[in-house]
Amino acid sequence: MIEIRFHGRGGQGAVTASRLLATAAFLEGHHSQSIPMYGTERRGAPVTAFVRIGEKDQMVRSLIHEPDYVVVLDPLLRKSVNITEGLKDTGMLVVNSSVPPMEVELDKDILTATVDATAIALEVLGRPITNTAILGAFCKATGAVKLESVIEAVNQQWSGRLAEMNVKAVEEAYDRTEVGRPKVVDKIDRPSAPTNSKADWRTFKPMVDAEKCIGCKLCWMVCPDGSIDMVENKSVINYDYCKGCGICAEECPVDAIEMRMEAE
Ligand code: SF4
Ligand code: SF4
């Protein structure tokens, strides 16, 4: 039996990734389960999902505490979530990262695969939805399911142009995945944040160009987390509570807000 844990954020498709992987395994003749664990169910919030692949009598109904593989859809999650918790020494971490495995800081010496799934998703889908790209990396790195099976699962999930783009994301990630050993450190620095802070939910950070801002307050009105103040008729973001959803940038009538990727 193989057990897999997915870590992502609301909006990145971790639950869909787990379902696609379970479907791919089923298409190969295995029994499989996809178990989503919903939390706050908000865009940007950490999300966990589980997949179990094996034979019928191995399909227990429980969460997975000692996974064989951990799949991480967001490059910054490792700074806020203990992604290697319970991961078997013989297992593997498959992580969305723009750096090669030997530059990924971990507190455990575990075989690590990296792929820049965000870059692939932006190139192919035009949005940072990393679920299908990370599955391409999972296939390449682990060999636990075949590439063809994941592509078939994607084609069952979507049709037309959407299916084509997601298949392309899977294939690109498959080709660009690297496997190696991480940079092992004593402790991962996980900075403490104010209570209810959403700073570590962000993959992208809104940056206001005060020169362009005309003070219309539209961003202030639409921000779902009330994390924008108007100061001297200009928009000012409170980064302790901004979750990086990008709604303010989408709505700004003069493109005064740019979403920039947070540094890994
Ligand atoms: S929506 Fe744009 S122009 Fe209007 S206040 Fe916000 S940043 Fe300024
Ligand atoms: S400031 Fe912008 S990116 Fe941040 S939570 Fe509000 S709308 Fe979303």
The pair phi, psi for residue 132, each rounded to 5°, is: -75, -35
How far apart CA 63 and CA 45 sit, in angstroms, is 20
Q: DSSP string covering 73-87, please?
A: --TTGGGTS-TTTT-
Cα angle 32-38-42, degrees, rounded to a multiple of 5: 135
For domain 199-261, is the CATH number 3.40.50.450? Answer: no
CATH of 2-184, one of 3.40.50.300, 2.60.40.10, 3.40.920.10, 1.10.10.10: 3.40.920.10
Indicate which atom in ligand 2 lies nearest the CA of residue 226: 6
Ligand lying closest to the C-alpha of residue 248 = 2
Determine the residue type at 28.
Answer: E
CA 167 to chain centroid, in Å, comes to 18
DSSP summary character for residue 93: E
Ligand 1 neighbour 214 (Cβ under 6 A):
yes
Distances from the Cα of 75 to the Cαs of 40, 96, 105, 127, 254, in angstroms?
20, 5, 12, 15, 30
Given pLDDT bands bounded at 50, 70 and 90, which one contains residue 191? low
Name the residue at shortest CA distance from atom 7 of ligand 2. 223
Count of beta carbons in the 10 Å neighbourhood of residue 75: 23
Quick check: 254 and 213 in contact, CB under 8 A?
Answer: yes
For ligand 1, say whether the CB of 252 is within 6 Å of any of its atoms. yes
Write the pLDDT tens digit of every residue in 107-150: 899 999 999 999 999 999 999 899 999 999 999 999 999 999 99
What are the helix (H) ranges across the chain?
A: 14-27, 117-124, 131-142, 147-157, 160-176, 218-222, 247-251
Q: What are 161-190's pLDDT values in tens digits?
A: 999 999 999 999 999 999 999 999 988 877
Locate the ligand 2 atom nearest the alpha carbon of residue 206 and give its number: 3
Q: What is the pTM of this model?
A: 0.78
Question: Any idea where the domains of the chain sit in the sequence?
Answer: 2-184, 199-261
Atom of ligand 2 nearest to the CA of 219: 7
Tokens representing 80 are 């806020």
pLDDT higher than 60, residue 12? yes
The span from the first CA to the last CA of the chain, in angstroms, equals: 33
What is the model's pLDDT at position 78? 83
Token duo for residue 38: 């919903």
For atom 6 of ligand 2, the residue with the nearest CA is 223
For ligand 1, whether the C-beta of 219 sits within 6 Å is: yes
Ligand 2 centroid to 255 CA: how many Å? 14
Q: Is 222 in the pocket of ligand 1 (CB under 6 A)?
A: no
Angle formed by the axes of helices 131-142 and 147-157, nearest 10°: 160
What tokens does 119 get?
């870059």
Question: Does residue 77's CB lie within 6 angstroms of at least one atom of ligand 1?
Answer: no
Mutate to test the pocket of ligand 1, among 208, 213, 229, 258 (most ligand atoms within 8 A of CB): 213
